[in-house]
Amino acid sequence: MTDQPFDLPAYLSRIGLSEAPKADADGVATIQRAQRMTIPFENLDVRLGRGVSIAPDAIFAKLVGTRRGGYCFEHNQLFAAALTAIGFVVRPLLARVWLGVPDDATGDAIPARTHQLLLVELPDGPWIADAGFGGAYTPPMPLRDGATATSPDGAVHRLHADAVHGWVTTRDGDLHATDARGVAQPGGGPIRQYSFTEDAVWPADIAQCNHHIATVPNHRFTTMAIVSIVLPRGFASLTDRHYRRRNGTEAVTTDITDPRVYRMRLSLVFGIDLTAEEVAALELF
Question: pLDDT (tens digit, 9 = 90+) per residue, 54-113?
Answer: 999 999 999 999 999 999 999 999 999 999 999 999 999 999 999 888 777 778 889 999
pLDDT tens digits along 233-266: 999 999 999 999 999 889 999 999 999 999 999 9
Note the pLDDT of residue 1.
43
Nearest to residue 88, comparing CAs of 150, 141, 24? 24
Is 244 within the bounds of a domain?
no
Is 255 within the bounds of a domain?
no
Mean confidence (pLDDT) of the chain: 93
Residues 6+ apart with CB under 8 A from 211: none
HSE, CB side, 13 Å, CA atoms: give it for residue 114: 18
Contact 173, 156 (CB under 8 A): yes
Q: Name the domain count of the chain.
A: 1
Q: What is the CATH number of the domain that holds 33?
A: 3.30.2140.20
Is 262 within the bounds of a domain?
no
The boundaries of the domain holding residue 124 are 10-216
The average pLDDT across 25-37 equals 97
Is 48 within the bounds of a domain?
yes
pLDDT tens digits along 168-227: 999 999 888 888 876 555 556 899 999 999 999 999 999 999 999 999 998 899 999 999
Is 146 within the bounds of a domain?
yes
Catalytically annotated residues = 72, 115, 130
Is 276 within the bounds of a domain?
no
Three-class SS state of 268: helix
Is 283 within the bounds of a domain?
no
With 0-12 CB in 10 A as exposed, 13-18 as middle and 19+ as buried, what is 18? exposed
The average pLDDT across 8-19 equals 97
Over its C-alpha atoms, the chain yields an Rg (Å, rounded) of 18
Is 140 within the bounds of a domain?
yes
